Chains A and B, each alone.
Chain A
Amino acid sequence: MDARVLNEVNYPAAGDRGGTPAQWVRTVDVSAENVVRIFGTTPALHGVSLDIGAGELVALLGPSGSGKTTLLRILAGLDVPTSGRVLFDGEDALKLTVQERNVGLVFQNYALFRHMTVLENIGFGLRVRPRIRRPSRREIRRRALELLDFVQLTGLEKRYPSQLSGGQRQRVAFARALAIEPRLLLLDEPFGALDAKVRRELRRWLLEIHTKTGHTTVFVTHDQEEALELADRVVVMSEGRIEQIGTPDEIYDKPNSPFVYSFIGESSVLPVRVEQGKVWLDEHPLDLAAGAVPSGPARLFFRPHDVEVGNDLPGAIPGVVQGLRRHGGARRVDLEVGGRGDRVEIELPADYSLNLSGRVAVLPRRYRLYPATTQTNLS
């Protein structure tokens, strides 16, 4: 992290503590190696490996039950893997207790201490330190006020959590986590309990905080939009496994599995056949390259908006319009395709003239083919 950036925001006043700014942002890189977690007989994580660089903002994205929260809790030290290793800066983190890991945790429901004021909440991590490492009372108060200012809640120090809005509580939870000068920030569905508008505000705010403080940050979410918008890298998880790790662009544009394709963004799926390097829909050859997909049944994935439409497109997918819906500035069309009554969804400009039961041919501009034998986790 660049020292100049930190001095600019003047948080936390590093000079006062006599160290260089680099010393208090002791952020770490994190590695999980083959982490397995079994609850009773149910495996929650099947050998997950993951490298997170220092200062990176990483999203763990997946449906519920995908193991993302379990992985986060293992990184935090709140849970212990059945086997595998967790390293902070190359050192075994599993040897460290929750307290020793020095990790800033933010929960979905904030877990603020309800009997303490905002200021007491923020100062808690400093107050409970063993006497030798505990700052003076005045110093704790000063730092807590500074953090309150940093999360833009100046003036609310005497409030109790129950007197705050959801967004404000979440900011207090951040300030409390930052107060212990954590080496790593872990956020469990940080915006899950907030309404859509506050959620968007806080997303931008989280990005600002991350840019200012430079903490390695891992957050769990089931909201792909949130993951794609915020994270440097997204880890897509499903059923205790990592499906794909990549930048938001890679995840969105080059999903490596049917699961990721259908989980991220909107998608239409069509069962097809690959023969002699060509893609066939029933007996109709499509103008699509099969690439490296082997001969046999396959599944064609494409995004509803990534299509070309016309009636004289050679090698296009012919369909019958079954439904028309207005969708923002565009129109969504349900098409029945092929002999088995398969349905796909496409998106057209709102002024495109189409009638129910009308015929139209569609050619995906961008698409991905997966052999049909590949497991999809979304049925």
Chain B
Amino acid sequence: MTDAAIAPLLVTEQRGTTVTTEQWPVRILLIGVAVAFLVLFLFMPLAAVFVEAFRAGIGAYFAAITEPDALAAIRLTLLVAAIAVPANVVFGLAASWAIAKFEFTGKSVLNTLIDLPFSVSPVISGLIYVLLFGGQGYFGAFLHSENIQIIFALPGIVLATIFVTFPFVARELVPLMQEQGTQDEEAALSLGASGWKTFFKVTLPNIRWALLYGVVLCNARAMGEFGAVSVVSGHIRGKTNTMPLHVEILYNEYNFAAAFAVASLLALLALVTLVIKVALEWRYADQIAASRRH
């Protein structure tokens, strides 16, 4: 990611024509295609969300996002993210530690499985939990007799969200930790540090930016996930609706202004994520580069 950020700078710095610099018409064409694509697929929809959200006026906008069902959806979304993200941080750290720092049988299988949620349709991700914990599912009868509600309740939504978002942290950490190897840890241990001190004072600082980056991406997905959550949520207004589900319901009720108002919050989240990501890369570029190469 840092390389990509640096590359354009290098090109603008060397003004003159070099072997690798394209002719002007080619440059304009390439830049034009890229910009047109971005405008068409990114900026226009984004702008449309905000335009539609404020179409009925600012008063209607705030009414839509402060209405009890909307507030409940926001609260639920935040709660789900607050559970799913830390869970995935722990899982991601454990998995990448295991993959990067020692050898065991089944390591490549684990490495492949981490990517599974990326390749499985989110609907299937939701459906497996219905099959497991739903009324007709494998554990359905047992859960019912114990009076434990998983599907169409918070636990189901959290499970589905964790499943869908678990690659984000691990995927950021595994390559970095593999590249860094175990020498720093060995050095720390030989200097007398305990396992915990080694982890908190050496391992964690070495991966902090990648971890933070993974958390930001994981959080964005956790809040925005629709498919898997839709299957397990049951769409109970004010109870099991997350923000994306709430948007859908409002839209299906032809309540466009309210739908786009809530959608604009999600879009805002995406923008904030982007800003944090850029800010991280800009502010800590040298440290990110240092922790990758050194």
Residues of A within 8 A of B (CB): 76-78, 98-99, 101-105, 107, 109, 111-116, 124-125, 128-129, 160-162, 176-177, 179-180
B287 at the A interface (CB under 8 A): yes
How far apart sit A7 and B20, CA to CA, in the bound complex (Å)?
63
How far apart sit A348 and B184, CA to CA, in the bound complex (Å)?
50
Q: Are B189 and A98 in contact (CB under 8 A)?
A: yes
Q: Are B291 and A114 in contact (CB under 8 A)?
A: yes
Question: Residue of A at shortest CB range from B291?
Answer: A114
Interface core residue of B192, B205, B206 (most chain A CB under 10 Å)? B192
B179 at the A interface (CB under 8 A): no
Q: Are A99 and B186 in contact (CB under 8 A)?
A: no
Set of chain A residues within 8 Å of B294, measured between Cβ atoms: 114, 161-162
Q: Are A124 and B186 in contact (CB under 8 A)?
A: no
Subset of 10 A-B contacts with CB under 8 Å: A98-B186, A103-B190, A105-B186, A107-B187, A111-B187, A114-B291, A115-B205, A115-B287, A128-B194, A177-B191
Question: How many chain B residues touch the partner (CB < 8 A)?
Answer: 21
Interface core residue of A107, A128, A161 (most chain B CB under 10 Å)? A128
Question: Residue of A at shortest CB range from B186?
Answer: A78
Contacts A128-B201, A161-B294, A162-B294; is A111 near B184 (CB within 8 Å)? yes
- Kindly provide the distance from the CB of B210 to the nearest chain A CB, expressed in whole angstroms: 13
- Kindly provide the distance from the CB of A168 to the nearest chain B CB, expressed in whole angstroms: 14
Set B189, B190, B191, B206: member contacting A114, Cβ < 8 A: B206
A-B CB pair tally, cutoff 8 Å: 72
How far apart sit A114 and B294, CA to CA, in the bound complex (Å)?
7
Set of chain B residues within 8 Å of A102, measured between Cβ atoms: 192
How far apart sit A116 and B291, CA to CA, in the bound complex (Å)?
12
Question: Residue of B at shortest CB range from A98?
Answer: B189
Set A101, A112, A115, A124: member contacting B291, Cβ < 8 A: A115
Contacts A162-B290, A162-B294; is A176 near B191 (CB within 8 Å)? yes
Set of chain B residues within 8 Å of A98, measured between Cβ atoms: 186, 189-190
How far apart sit A98 and B195, CA to CA, in the bound complex (Å)?
11
Q: Are B191 and A124 in contact (CB under 8 A)?
A: yes
Which 4 residue pairs are nearest across A and B when measured between Cβ atoms? A125-B191, A128-B193, A111-B183, A111-B187
Set B187, B194, B290: member contacting A99, Cβ < 8 A: B194
Set of chain B residues within 8 Å of A177, measured between Cβ atoms: 190-191
Contacts A160-B290, A162-B290; is A109 near B183 (CB within 8 Å)? yes
Q: Are A99 and B206 in contact (CB under 8 A)?
A: no
Q: Are B206 and A124 in contact (CB under 8 A)?
A: no
Q: Are B188 and A128 in contact (CB under 8 A)?
A: yes
- Kindly provide the distance from the CB of A124 to the nearest chain B CB, expressed in whole angstroms: 6
Contact residues of B between 277 and 294, Cβ < 8 Å to A: 287, 290-291, 294
B123 at the A interface (CB under 8 A): no
Set of chain A residues within 8 Å of B291, measured between Cβ atoms: 114-115
Question: Residue of A at shortest CB range from B290?
Answer: A162
- Mark B185-218 against chain A: 1 for CB-CB distance below 8 A, else 0: 0111111111001000110011010000000000
Question: Residue of A at shortest CB range from B292?
Answer: A114
Q: Are A128 and B184 in contact (CB under 8 A)?
A: no
Question: Residue of A at shortest CB range from B208?
Answer: A115
Set of chain A residues within 8 Å of B184, measured between Cβ atoms: 111, 113
Q: Are B290 and A124 in contact (CB under 8 A)?
A: no
Set B192, B194, B197, B202: member contacting A113, Cβ < 8 A: B202
Set of chain A residues within 8 Å of B208, measured between Cβ atoms: 115
Q: Are B183 and A128 in contact (CB under 8 A)?
A: no
Set of chain B residues within 8 Å of A111, measured between Cβ atoms: 183-184, 186-187
Q: Are A105 and B190 in contact (CB under 8 A)?
A: yes
Q: Are B190 and A76 in contact (CB under 8 A)?
A: yes
Set of chain B residues within 8 Å of A161, measured between Cβ atoms: 294
Contacts A102-B192, A128-B193; is A107 near B183 (CB within 8 Å)? yes
- Kindly provide the distance from the CB of B233 to the nearest chain A CB, expressed in whole angstroms: 42
